[in-house]
């Protein structure tokens, strides 16, 4: 049975391109025949760096100010204002973020990703040095929002809500704001003056704080729901996990990483510490514990159940810990904490070997589960054991919204199910990057603002991501990637000074010039120069990133402008004839 004819489909199926000719029109070269029936369209796309940034920073935007593409009287100030629109902690994040943005950077397919994190640190330091202030609070809306938790998620939400004109009160069980950035990250990574400066900028917007107040003890969630128009829960994951092995519980000198790091922040060098600290774990937190122990004058031993190549820590974190004096036992599982009286004598460990194919867990995504004990045990002598094997949220006082899972659950609007005016974000949902918590706070604030104004909650926006395949990468001259100096100190004992040094202004300018402005015109004039029909017209007064347009009466669809566009801003769209 024959179907009805579809003239459009028939035309497309039977269409034959005209024969190739080198001359047409005014004798110009045309690459795809006389007419391709496609003409250039200008598509502003999201650069992959911003797409991969959990905080949603306009990375391309602030680099265009730094490299001079977008003109302004004060490039650094304009760049700083661009970055803090989404992330009020550029100086902090520029020091500790593992920069997933750089993994997305299209420049990696040419000569190496742009050093985005280094630029962020330099901008953050500039903002602090110059005393720059965040955008002022918006006109008063008469609405009040309680933010439970003064960590990165809560502070981010408070900042964005205050900008929108809502009164904000931060409620935190600690004595200082900062959450795990303060209580879990050491001063040699983030100087306390840097953290305090970026927090103060937020509270200076007129945010009230109630410190030392625990929800579930001093006040209930239900009371806060009645007192405030909306509530944001960003309590983080501040409970360290214990080892389920004999001798761990109830033994003096045995603790978890979260408590160990927190106690140092509270007590300083007066914290009780062993002469030889055994750290169980293979992640960045384990490296931090070992490096802190070394600074307190102890010896530090890392115990990893997996080999070096499967450890979860970043390469630089591991290298720093070993260089500073930590020793490592690989493929060593923890069996028992051995006691001497009430304290620690040693850690009994078992040699681990990789499971054979087909064994339960042999291909698990969790490296630890891919190994099993050989049965051969050995002892590591020490007088303190710290388990750095993860953390969880303390949902005491939040049982009504935890569903018994130990974690909060939110919908796509960051609203807690069954609670119309309660929203949440950060590590209490899932332990992730601090940058992720900042992004959660901003997105939740957008939903809270819409809720308070009686508007529809914002839906996630689909992003058209700029692809390297659509860019002429050869336009860019090879340029070495900037590299920050991480100071190496001969004697770490008692030295808590920050180690990572920022780029110089000259290095910042050079690095920003490596940005390819993916997905947005930067006025390179390639399309104007290569168009054989002189159909591309450049206008200086067009909006930012839109300095060219096409005279479609002259355009013959040769594709050259698209092929030579370094940013991928020009694509070929459908023209007349199809």
Q: What is the pLDDT of residue 39?
A: 86
Short-list 175, 53, 26, CA closest to 113: 53
Looking at the domain that runs over 52-132+475-507, which CATH code has it been given? 1.10.1060.10
Q: What is the pLDDT of residue 94?
A: 97
Distance of CA 331 to the CA centre of its chain: 30
DSSP tag of 468? G
78 within 8 A of 84, measured Cβ to Cβ: no
Question: Parallel, antiparallel, or unpaired for β 384-387 and 167-172?
Answer: unpaired
Q: Is the pLDDT of residue 12 over 90?
A: no
φ/ψ of residue 94, rounded to 5:
-65, -10
Short-list 3, 27, 48, 17, CA closest to 568: 48
229 within 8 A of 144, measured Cβ to Cβ: yes
Q: Is the pLDDT of residue 23 over 90?
A: no
Q: Which residue has the tokens 């900062």?
A: 178
CA pair distance 369, 359, nearest whole angstrom: 11
408 within 8 A of 417, measured Cβ to Cβ: no
Q: What is the pLDDT of residue 224?
A: 97
CA pair distance 240, 392, nearest whole angstrom: 7
Which pTM value belongs to this model? Answer: 0.90
Q: What is the pLDDT of residue 427?
A: 94
Average predicted confidence (pLDDT) for the chain = 91
CA pair distance 328, 322, nearest whole angstrom: 8
Q: What is the pLDDT of residue 548?
A: 84
φ/ψ of residue 42, rounded to 5:
-110, 115
Residue 578 pLDDT grade (very low, low, confident, very high; cuts 50, 70, 90): very low
pLDDT tens figures, 496-514 = 999 999 999 999 999 999 9
CA pair distance 293, 300, nearest whole angstrom: 6
147 within 8 A of 232, measured Cβ to Cβ: yes
Q: What is the pLDDT of residue 296?
A: 96
Same fold, 7-44+520-574 and 52-132+475-507: no
Q: Is the pLDDT of residue 166 over 90?
A: yes
pLDDT tens figures, 432-443 = 999 999 999 999
Q: What is the pLDDT of residue 574?
A: 65
Half-sphere exposure of 67 (CA within 13 A, CB side): 19
Q: In sequence order, what DSSP letters do the residues of 406-452 get, joined into one string?
A: TS----TTSBPTT-TTEEE-STTT----HHHHHHHHHHHHHHHHHHH
Q: Where are the domains of the chain?
A: 7-44+520-574, 52-132+475-507, 144-238+393-453, 248-387
Distance of CA 63 to the CA centre of its chain: 17
φ/ψ of residue 403, rounded to 5:
55, 25
φ/ψ of residue 231, rounded to 5:
-130, 135
**Across 425-434, average pLDDT:** 93
DSSP tag of 486? B
Short-list 337, 187, 190, CA closest to 274: 337
pLDDT tens figures, 81-112 = 999 999 999 999 999 999 999 999 999 999 99
Taking each continuous run of H as one helix and of E as one strand, the counts in the chain are: 19, 19
135 within 8 A of 87, measured Cβ to Cβ: no
Distance of CA 536 to the CA centre of its chain: 39
The CATH class for the domain spanning 248-387 reads alpha beta
Q: What is the pLDDT of residue 382?
A: 97
pLDDT tens figures, 219-268 = 999 999 999 999 999 999 989 999 999 999 999 999 999 999 999 999 99
Q: What is the pLDDT of residue 3?
A: 58
Q: In sequence order, what DSSP letters do the residues of 520-556 get, joined into one string?
A: S-----HHHHH-TT--EEE-TTSPTT--EEE-TTT--
The CATH class for the domain spanning 7-44+520-574 reads alpha beta
Q: Can you name the CATH fold of 144-238+393-453?
A: FAD/NAD(P)-binding domain (3.50.50)
The count of other CB atoms within 10 Å of the CB of residue 103 is 12
Half-sphere exposure of 378 (CA within 13 A, CB side): 10
User: Could you give the percent of the chain with pLDDT greater than 90?
Assistant: 78
Question: Parallel, antiparallel, or unpaired for β 299-303 and 327-329?
Answer: parallel
Q: What is the pLDDT of residue 36?
A: 61
376: CB partners within 8 A, 6+ apart = 350, 351
At 246, list the tokens: 């004999």
CA pair distance 291, 314, nearest whole angstrom: 14
Q: Which stretches of 167-314 are DSSP H helices?
A: 180-183, 192-203, 221-227, 257-267, 284-295
């Amino acid at each position: 049975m024959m179907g009805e004819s579809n003239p459009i489909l028939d035309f497309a199926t039977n269409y034959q391109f005209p024969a190739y000719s080198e001359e047409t029109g005014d004798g110009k070269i045309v690459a795809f025949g006389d007419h391709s029936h496609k003409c250039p369209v200008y598509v502003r796309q999201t650069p992959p760096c911003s797409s991969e940034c959990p905080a949603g920073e306009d990375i391309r935007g602030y680099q265009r100010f730094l490299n001079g593409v977008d003109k302004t009287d004060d490039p650094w100030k304009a760049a700083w204002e661009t970055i803090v629109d989404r992330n009020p902690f550029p100086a902090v994040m520029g020091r500790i973020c593992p920069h997933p943005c750089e993994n997305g950077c299209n420049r990696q397919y040419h000569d190496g990703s742009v050093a985005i994190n280094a630029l962020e640190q330099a901008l953050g330091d500039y903002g602090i040095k110059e005393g720059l202030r965040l955008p002022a609070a918006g006109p008063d809306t008469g609405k009040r929002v309680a933010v439970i938790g003064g960590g990165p998620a809560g502070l981010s939400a408070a900042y964005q809500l205050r900008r929108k004109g809502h009164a904000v009160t931060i409620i935190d069980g600690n004595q200082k704001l900062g959450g795990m950035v303060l209580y879990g990250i050491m001063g040699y990574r983030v100087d306390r003056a840097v953290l305090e400066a970026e927090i103060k900028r937020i509270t200076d917007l007129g945010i009230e704080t109630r410190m030392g107040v625990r929800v579930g003890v001093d006040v209930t969630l239900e009371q806060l729901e009645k007192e405030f128009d909306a509530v944001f829960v960003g309590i983080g994951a501040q409970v360290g996990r214990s080892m389920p092995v004999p001798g761990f519980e109830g033994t003096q000198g045995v603790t978890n990483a979260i408590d160990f790091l927190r106690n140092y922040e509270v007590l300083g060098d007066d914290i009780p510490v062993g002469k030889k600290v055994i750290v169980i774990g293979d992640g960045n937190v384990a490296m931090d514990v070992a490096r802190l122990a070394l600074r307190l004058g102890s010896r530090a031993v890392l115990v990893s159940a997996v080999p070096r190549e499967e450890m979860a820590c970043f390469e630089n974190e591991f290298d720093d810990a070993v260089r500073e004096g930590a020793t490592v036992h690989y493929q060593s599982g923890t069996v028992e904490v051995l006691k001497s009286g009430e304290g620690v004598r040693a850690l009994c460990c078992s040699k681990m070997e990789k499971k054979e194919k087909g064994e339960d867990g042999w291909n698990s995504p969790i490296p630890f589960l891919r190994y099993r004990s050989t049965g051969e045990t050995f002892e590591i002598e020490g007088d303190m054991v710290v388990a750095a094997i993860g953390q969880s949220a303390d949902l005491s006082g939040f049982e009504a919204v935890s569903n018994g899972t130990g974690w909060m659950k939110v919908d796509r609007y960051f609203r807690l199910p069954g609670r119309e005016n309660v929203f949440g974000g950060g590590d209490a949902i899932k332990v992730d990057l601090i940058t992720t918590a900042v992004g959660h706070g901003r997105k939740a604030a957008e939903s809270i603002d819409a809720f308070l104004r009686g508007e529809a909650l914002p839906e996630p926006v689909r992003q058209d991501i700029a692809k390297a395949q659509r860019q002429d990468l050869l336009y860019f001259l090879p340029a070495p990637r900037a590299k920050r100096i991480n100071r190496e100190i001969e004697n770490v004992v008692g030295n808590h000074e920050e180690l990572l040094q920022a780029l110089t202004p000259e290095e910042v300018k050079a690095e920003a010039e490596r940005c390819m402005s993916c997905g947005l015109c930067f006025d390179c004039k390639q399309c104007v120069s290569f168009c054989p029909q002189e159909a591309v017209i450049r206008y200086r007064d067009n909006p930012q990133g839109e300095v060219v347009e096409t005279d479609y009466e002259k355009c013959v669809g040769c594709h050259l402008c698209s092929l030579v566009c370094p940013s991928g801003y020009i694509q070929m769209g459908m023209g007349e004839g199809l």
